[in-house]
Chains A and B, each alone.
Chain A
Amino acid sequence: MIMKLGGQFWLFPPLVFFLAFYYLPLFMVFEIAMSSMFAWQKVLASSLFTRFFLFTIYQAIMTTIFAGVIGTVAGYALAHGKPYGKRILSPALTVPFLLPPISILVGFVLFFEPGGILTSLFGLKFEVFGNPWAIILAHTLYNISVFAKMTESAFKTEPGDLHLIGEMQGANFWRRLKTITLPYVYPTILAASLITFLYAFNSFAIVLLIGEVKYQTLEVMIYIRTRLRLDFMSGAVISIIQLLINMIVVVLYLRYSRKEGAETEGGEYYQPIATRSIRLASTAFILFILILTWFPIISTFIKFFQSYEHATTIQRKQLLSGTFDYLLGTSPLRVIMNTIGFAISTGIIGISIAVMIVLFLQSSHSELNQYLISFFTILPMATSGITISFAILLLFGSDRNFSSLVWIFILAAHLLAALPFVIRSVLTSYGYVPEEMLGVSEMLGADAVRTFRKIVYPFIKKSLTVAFLFASAISVGEFGATYYLSRGEWITVSTAIGKLFNSRYTMLPLFFASLLSLLALSLFMIIEGFGEFDLKV
């Protein structure tokens, strides 16, 4: 009985966190939205809403189609085409997904802008600002890696014996693709499509900064209505509409991500013989995608070093001095410290919450509890950063200490973005702990903490480390919520880039963008080193 009580205690802190920073604030959004039908009529009758709603869906579908086709072919090439240098090509393809959208955006603009690499190398012109295709292209480049990595894993685990039988019975490549490969990988393709759709549907930074008001996603609309025009009612209505669509997508995603490979397990995986020409074609295709996705990133570094080289000594000194404090609200050094502080805190608190949930589940022995926890902690995934910030502002914004305590709310928003990934990853590893071992430990009188230390921890320690790093990476790249909530000196590198994006000072945002990319790359390399990186939630 004592142990049962002890076990239940561990649920208390995560419960308080989710209630205080997610469910109660979200309830406020519902309350405002439902308080008057007038707001609904106003929003739904607005031609601007219809236009931007359709645009949000349209660009999300187009992104999913383009990223899906290119990424799936890349996944197949990686899995079966045996490209030369696969050890480098495969992780290199994953990097763009881990980079903060704002870094991608800076590189994208530098690559395509007049005088950028595309114009100077190939003489091609492509208007980035106010062009819907630029938004779709930026989203596509960012999401190819999702498809490539997810489908690569699925293609690699196709049952080899089934292909052998197909080949023995005279089925050619296309018939085997139709009857074996596609039925086997379609749940993965669907899951990757849903996650890409979700990303593009909730895109904020890219659309806000290059959409030029003409093109807005619902996320940008909520920001403009609630933060700039203070029209909370219509902002709440749009948030609810966005939330409902997100929830449908998340439920479908969870359904299909569970289905992957369920029907044909066992035996050796399919490993076709790749001829030299197939290997060359695979390598060329992957390299082409890498050029597309990496050039914008590299452009940022090149541009920064160029501007640094051409800068005067005074300008160089100004980089980290107090010269730009009036633009940022604080010093660049403080911005960097904020970013690192939020990242480490998000990692530590994120895995602490995950561990507390595991400690609770350990003593509850209930599959229903595990299911309920998975469900309620994954819901923030269906809620955009702007909606979460708006909800937090509604609940806590009237407090006179809001501005001085804003760092707590920014941290909470970062945690809400990271926790669905962290908890799901840790619970997946926890699922491998044999239930009998937990029972034996309980029978032998070990309390929840001892059982965790001696039995559960060895099973989940790797995923805890990866979850810590991944949560930190999410915090480093988080843009929407921080941009929305930040006050005074509490801004991060990614939001600083956003603030400086259209200013005439280029060296500082370039420095920040390069730094952000380097940070994300370092975190990615450490995660890759653990060999447990998985793009799936």
Chain B
Amino acid sequence: MLEIRDLHISFGDKHVIRGFSTSIPNGKIGVLLGRSGSGKSTILKMITGMLNPDYGEILVDGINIVGTPISKRGLGFVPQHQLLFPGLNVFENLAYGLKSQKWGREEIKRRVSEIAELVGVDHLLRRHPRNLSGGERQRVALGRALATYPKILLMDEPFSSLDESERKKLALVFRQIQQELGITSVHVTHSSQEAALLSDKIVVLENGVVVQEGNYREVRRFPKSKTVAKLMGIPNILENESQEIIKAWKLEPKGEEEKFFQVNPWELKRGNMGIECKVIAVTEGIAFLYTDGNFLSMIDDSGLNVGQKIKVERHPEKEEIGKVSQMQSRVGKF
């Protein structure tokens, strides 16, 4: 179990992390979600030992590791940029930690072949990193991190530099391996899709402070602020909170801490009344509309034409999380 209590760090006058606390139960994945500069990488650096907190505790299985040398923390790390040791082949990369820890030759061979099979690179063992694809390199990076039996696996946006299809595939491979090994993991990302696929728990960070935490469903359904809603990829948040739209569609304010207005795409329908919108684009049953400073999306199969002006009404129905995921997979983030 990883438990973090009241972590603080400042750089000069800037208070970067202010009282960060969370816990990730054994065998679960905690996702640190936040925009660039929110402080998520700084927290990761404090866990690794690259930075020492001004105040606070980081407990791994109940033992505070603040001040413990990096090599003694029992951590595995998968970096963002598919970094492998440049002069070593795949086998040597996987064996790196084992060799450093003076394992015997036969033990190393056995462990490397075990881990190579687990991450699916057993056919690439003699290859040099430069002859691997991005996805293969990241599999090797995962294998290298897992080889030494770490207590906690840290992942710093490991899929961000991969293409869309590879990213999803690899995220699922990671999830499967993590479940198989039952290793406690921290995953840093700014992608709500990765959070949806990988998280047992989401911790949303903003300016060094936790603004919301919970499981994906909870955070997705009840975002406390507009920032959290945007980070979670919730569609149709009104940028221009026009009273005409709010009134016509009878929108209720959302957000416990910061009020905002949002309408679900499946609640919008073409009608004779409502708000006039211009059709900007139409793709796979989804129409993208513009009205009064807001870009919105609507599920529609009625054959709208680009440039057409239509009236849009709202027919509230119970929110279904499945619909959101389905829409996201069809057209990406809104």
Contact = CB atoms under 8 A, between A and B. Distances in A.
B79 to A, nearest CB: 4
A183 B85 contact: yes
A179 B97 contact: no
Contact of A164 (B70, B88, B100): B70
Contacts of A175: 100
A450 B86 CA distance: 45
Given A164-B79, A170-B101, A183-B87, 4 more contacts: A164-B50, A168-B48, A169-B144, A170-B71
A166 B148 CA distance: 12
A159 interface: yes
B96 interface: yes
Interface stretch (A199-207, A261-269, A472-480, A500-508): A261-269
A275 B75 CA distance: 24
A164 B77 contact: yes
Contacts of B130: 263
19 contacts: A159-B81, A160-B50, A161-B77, A161-B156, A162-B79, A162-B83, A162-B85, A164-B70, A166-B100, A167-B70, A168-B71, A168-B75, A168-B150, A169-B96, A172-B100, A179-B87, A183-B87, A266-B161, A267-B83
Given A171-B100, A179-B88, A264-B83, A165 B144 contact: yes
A184 interface: yes
A180 interface: yes
Interface in B147-188: 148, 150, 156, 161
Contacts of B71: 167-170
A508 to B, nearest CB: 54
Contacts of A160: 50
Interface string B78-92: 011101111110000
Contact of A165 (B73, B77, B161): B77
Contact of A170 (B83, B100, B129): B100
B132 to A, nearest CB: 11
Contacts of B50: 160, 164
A169 B149 CA distance: 10
Interface of B: 48, 50, 70-71, 73, 75-77, 79-81, 83-88, 96-97, 100-101, 129-130, 144-145, 148, 150, 156, 161
A202 to B, nearest CB: 33
B85 A164 contact: no
B293 to A, nearest CB: 29
A478 B216 CA distance: 69
Given A168-B48, A170-B100, A263 B75 contact: no
A264 B96 CA distance: 17
A183 B77 contact: no
A187 to B, nearest CB: 11
A263 B86 contact: yes
B100 A165 contact: no
Contact of B77 (A168, A263, A264, A266): A168
Interface residues of A, number: 24
Nearest to B92: A179
Contacts of A265: 81
B76 A168 contact: yes
Contacts of B101: 169-170
A263 B86 CA distance: 7
B96 A159 contact: no
B80 A161 contact: yes
Interface string A249-267: 0000000000000011111
Interface in A165-198: 165-172, 175, 179-180, 182-184
A179 B100 CA distance: 11
Contacts of B84: 264
Residue with the highest number of chain B CB atoms closer than 10 Å, among A169, A182, A265, A267 = A169
Nearest to B96: A169
A179 B86 CA distance: 8
Contacts of B150: 168
A159 B88 contact: no
Residue with the highest number of chain B CB atoms closer than 10 Å, among A167, A168, A179, A264 = A168
Given A164-B50, A164-B70, A183 B83 contact: no
A401 to B, nearest CB: 58
B48 to A, nearest CB: 6
Contacts of B161: 266
B129 A263 contact: yes
A179 B81 contact: no
A169 B88 CA distance: 15
A161 B100 contact: no
Given A164-B50, A168-B77, A180 B85 contact: yes
A165 B83 contact: yes
B205 to A, nearest CB: 19
A143 B97 CA distance: 39
A396 B79 CA distance: 62
B27 to A, nearest CB: 21
B295 to A, nearest CB: 25
Interface string A109-126: 000000000000000000
Contacts of A180: 85-86
A172 B76 CA distance: 17
Contacts of B81: 159, 161, 264-267
Given A179-B96, A263-B130, A165 B86 contact: no
Contact of A267 (B70, B79, B85, B144): B79
A161 B155 CA distance: 11
A170 B97 contact: yes
A169 B86 contact: no
B137 to A, nearest CB: 11
A263 B77 CA distance: 20
A161 B70 contact: no
Contact of B48 (A164, A179, A183): A164
Contacts of A168: 48, 70-71, 73, 75-77, 97, 150
Nearest to A170: B100
Nearest to A172: B100
Contacts of A164: 48, 50, 70, 77, 79
B97 A169 contact: yes
Contacts of B80: 161, 266-267
Contact of B96 (A171, A182, A183, A267): A171
Contacts of B96: 165-166, 169, 171, 179
Contacts of A162: 79, 83, 85
Contacts of A264: 81, 83-84, 86
A165 B88 contact: no
Nearest to A175: B100
